[in-house]
């Protein structure tokens, strides 16, 4: 199926239901469909793609669906990139309609940008009968959305999601129209992240009103949840920890929030426990997925969260650090280095297969002959089917022939009092091949002695897994969705040592 059919479904099912906008401006399904049709007339036969580079906007879905209807890809780009990088990404998509916000517009002089708000104003002056409506595109093998990977390990790549991948995800995971008309979701994830795209599509598909937060602060997020009577929200880990920090032990027992999902990067178990206490009546959902899998492929649901929080059984308690069970339409295999499927509980590389799995970058498909996609994430599945993510295989440290996952050491460091963040990397070492170095950030008001910390880690892990050096810093570099930029940490440490990372 094609996203243009999605627009027609919205017009049919949610004709008079308010789907977009806050208390000031409200757009129904019929109005949304009309805006999309108007937008498509300005794209069809004129542009090769629609780029959106700007903050979140309450009518952002109009840009994505107008591109889809006109049969061209929608390419959301991170407006926070520095000029040089931003321009180089835009140059990859020549002859595009570049939609932007007023602040970013000045930085895009050579790309004939249009401020999105003004473009919408222009649409409202068009007479659809006069210009002639654009027929909806219908080839579901066309590219619907292009997303640039965050580039934690290398230069950003263009990941391609075709209409059939996105529609397979929606049809498989969301029941059309299942939301009540009083439900509203607060979107605070950025539009250029797969979570932002999935957030938009899933909620529209369920008929839930979308309220956009232009840019995130904990205070603003909490205010909007209360003002707009928000029932659903999705946040990335950094946001969750800022919200919890902002509440400072406060309990929101009367919040309208029914469901709070989080994902996009690893979350510390401590933050989740605090969040569960801060929102005692909210259902928590942890979602795991990749850009290349068109968003979520595994979910840890609300009951799993509360059960783990109250259980005495360590096997159930630890589920709080799992990403739950895979969706019914996804096949998963954990394979060892010989590509053999391992037993329950054993670690290996995560392989996925399913209709929503794209596994494709511009010019190259990474799916094997049988349709399997190697995520390059390391993980294990326990006997009950709960999936545990152990980090990127590319981050694996090999010390004296032993494979060590940084995540294992980081979680031990994070469990120590006064440690807010931890990043473990392997530095080139003549004797061991690689040696383990940890960089930590202390929680506010805490001072940590590296030597004492090292001893505490050694009490839990073997000596070979204990960092040989622990460096205390004020901060660590992250992507905006909270993924740690390991390659930046690593290259800084390597430079300090006077060599190059291999």
Partner 1 sequence: MILKPGARLISAVCTAELMTVKAPKTDLEVTIGGVATIASATARDGSVTAVAGHDSGTLMGKRYVDEADTIELLCTKAGSGAVAVNGELLQLKEAKALPASD
Q: Which of 91, 121, 122, 138 binds partner 1 (CB under 8 A)?
A: 138
Fill in the DSSP letter of residue 443. Answer: P
Does 56 participate in binding partner 1 (rule CB under 8 A)? no
To the nearest whole angstrom, how small is the minimum distance from the Cβ of residue 154 to partner 1? 26
Dihedral angle at the C-alpha atoms of 105, 110, 112, 118, nearest 10 degrees? Answer: 10
Does 9 participate in binding partner 1 (rule CB under 8 A)? yes
Q: Which of 19, 159, 174, 393 binds partner 1 (CB under 8 A)?
A: 174
Which residue's CB is nearer to partner 1, number 183 or number 377? Answer: 183
Strands 397-399 and 402-404: antiparallel
Q: Which of 117, 142, 218, 301 binds partner 1 (CB under 8 A)?
A: 301
Which residue's CB is nearer to partner 1, number 177 or number 450? Answer: 177
Helix (H) or strand (E) holding 352: strand 348-353
Fill in the DSSP letter of residue 9. Answer: H
Which residue's CB is nearer to partner 1, number 16 or number 130? Answer: 16
To the nearest whole angstrom, how small is the minimum distance from the Cβ of residue 173 to partner 1? 5
Beta bridge partners of 298: 288, 326
Helical H runs in 311-378? 314-317
445 φ, ψ (degrees, to nearest 5): 80, 5
Asked whether the beta carbons of 131 and 112 are under 8 A apart, the reply is no
To the nearest whole angstrom, how small is the minimum distance from the Cβ of residue 25 to partner 1? 24
- Which candidate, 497, 468, 349, places its Cα nearest to that of 400? 468
User: CA-to-CA distance for 3 and 473, rounded, in angstroms?
Assistant: 47
To the nearest whole angstrom, how small is the minimum distance from the Cβ of residue 11 to partner 1? 9
Asked whether the beta carbons of 185 and 208 are under 8 A apart, the reply is yes
Range in contact with partner 1 (rule: CB under 8 A) among 7-15, 43-51, 90-98, 477-485: 7-15
Range in contact with partner 1 (rule: CB under 8 A) among 69-77, 169-177, 248-256, 483-491: 169-177
Does 171 participate in binding partner 1 (rule CB under 8 A)? yes
Using CA atoms, how far residue 134 sits from 14, 67, 119, 215, 415, in Å, is 22, 11, 18, 34, 57
Does 1 participate in binding partner 1 (rule CB under 8 A)? yes
- Which candidate, 487, 497, 499, 281, places its Cα nearest to that of 394? 487
Which residue's CB is nearer to partner 1, number 294 or number 489? Answer: 294
Q: Which of 299, 320, 334, 407 binds partner 1 (CB under 8 A)?
A: 299
Range in contact with partner 1 (rule: CB under 8 A) among 4-12, 77-85, 107-115, 397-405: 4-12
User: CA-to-CA distance for 98 and 222, rounded, in angstroms?
Assistant: 32
Helix (H) or strand (E) holding 203: helix 194-206
Range in contact with partner 1 (rule: CB under 8 A) among 119-127, 255-263, 337-345, 381-389: 255-263
Q: What is the residue-wise DSSP string for 116-150? A: HHHHHHHHTT--HHHH-PPPPP--TTSEEEEEE--
Which residue's CB is nearer to partner 1, number 175 or number 384? Answer: 175
Q: Which of 151, 283, 433, 450 binds partner 1 (CB under 8 A)?
A: 283
- Can you read off the two tokens belonging to residue 251? 């309990």
Does 265 participate in binding partner 1 (rule CB under 8 A)? no
Does 193 participate in binding partner 1 (rule CB under 8 A)? no
User: CA-to-CA distance for 476 and 235, rounded, in angstroms?
Assistant: 20
Angle among Cα 356, 387, 310 to the nearest 5 degrees reads 125
User: CA-to-CA distance for 380 and 362, rounded, in angstroms?
Assistant: 30
Does 20 participate in binding partner 1 (rule CB under 8 A)? no
Q: Which of 104, 134, 295, 466 binds partner 1 (CB under 8 A)?
A: 295
Range in contact with partner 1 (rule: CB under 8 A) among 90-98, 244-252, 258-266, 387-395: 258-266
Q: Please count the residues of this chain forming the interface with partner 1, following the rule CB under 8 A.
A: 39
Asked whether the beta carbons of 72 and 45 are under 8 A apart, the reply is no
Does 202 participate in binding partner 1 (rule CB under 8 A)? yes
Q: Contact positions toward partner 1, by CB under 8 A? A: 1-2, 4-5, 8-9, 12-13, 136, 138, 140, 171, 173-178, 195, 198-199, 202-203, 206, 232, 234, 259, 261, 263, 283, 285, 287, 295-296, 299, 301-302, 327-328
């Amino acid at each position: 199926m094609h996203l243009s059919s999605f627009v027609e479904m919205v017009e049919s099912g949610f004709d008079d239901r308010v789907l977009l906008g806050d208390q000031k401006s409200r757009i129904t399904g019929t109005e949304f469909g009309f805006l999309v049709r108007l937008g498509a007339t300005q794209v069809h036969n004129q542009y090769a793609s629609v780029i959106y580079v700007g903050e979140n906007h309450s009518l952002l879905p109009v840009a994505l669906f107008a591109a889809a209807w006109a049969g061209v890809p929608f390419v959301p780009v991170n407006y926070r990139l520095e000029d040089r990088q931003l321009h180089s990404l835009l140059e990859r998509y020549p002859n595009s309609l570049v939609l932007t916000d007023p602040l970013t517009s000045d930085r895009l002089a050579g790309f004939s940008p249009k401020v999105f708000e003004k473009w919408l104003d222009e649409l409202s002056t068009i007479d659809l009968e006069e210009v002639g409506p654009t027929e909806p595109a219908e080839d579901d093998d066309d590219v619907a959305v292009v997303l640039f990977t965050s580039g934690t390990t290398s230069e950003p790549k263009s990941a391609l999601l075709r209409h059939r991948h996105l529609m397979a995800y929606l049809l498989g995971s969301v029941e059309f129209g299942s939301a009540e008309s009083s439900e509203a979701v607060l979107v605070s994830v950025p539009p250029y992240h797969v979570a932002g795209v999935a957030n938009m599509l899933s909620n529209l598909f369920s008929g839930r009103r979308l309220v956009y937060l232009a840019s995130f602060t904990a205070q603003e997020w909490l205010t909007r949840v209360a003002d707009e009577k928000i029932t659903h929200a999705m946040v990335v880990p950094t946001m969750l920890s800022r919200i919890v920090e902002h509440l400072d032990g406060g309990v929101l027992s009367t919040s309208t929030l029914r469901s709070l999902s989080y994902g996009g990067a690893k979350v510390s178990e401590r933050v989740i426990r605090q969040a569960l206490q801060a929102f005692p009546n909210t259902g928590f959902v942890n979602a795991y997925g990749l850009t290349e899998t068109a968003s979520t492929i595994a979910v840890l649901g609300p009951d799993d969260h509360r059960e783990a929080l109250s259980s005495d059984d360590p096997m159930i308690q630890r589920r709080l650090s799992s990403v739950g069970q895979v969706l019914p339409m996804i096949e998963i295999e954990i394979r060892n280095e010989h590509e053999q499927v391992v037993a329950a509980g054993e670690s290996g590389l995560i392989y996925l297969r399913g209709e929503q799995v794209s596994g494709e970058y511009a010019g190259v498909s990474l799916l094997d002959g049988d349709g399997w996609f190697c995520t390059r994430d390391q993980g294990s599945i326990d006997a009950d089917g709960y999936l545990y993510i152990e980090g990127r295989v590319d981050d694996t440290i090999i010390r004296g022939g032993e494979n060590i996952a940084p995540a294992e050491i980081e979680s031990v460091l994070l469990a120590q009092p006064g440690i807010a963040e931890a990043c473990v990397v392997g530095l080139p070492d003549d004797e061991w091949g690689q040696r383990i170095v940890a960089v930590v950030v202390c929680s506010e008001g805490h001072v940590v002695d590296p030597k004492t910390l090292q001893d505490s880690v050694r009490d839990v892990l073997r000596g070979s897994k204990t960092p040989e050096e622990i460096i205390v810093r004020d901060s660590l570099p992250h992507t905006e969705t909270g993924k740690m930029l390991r390659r930046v940490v690593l290259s800084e440490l390597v430079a300090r040592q006077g060599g190059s990372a291999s």
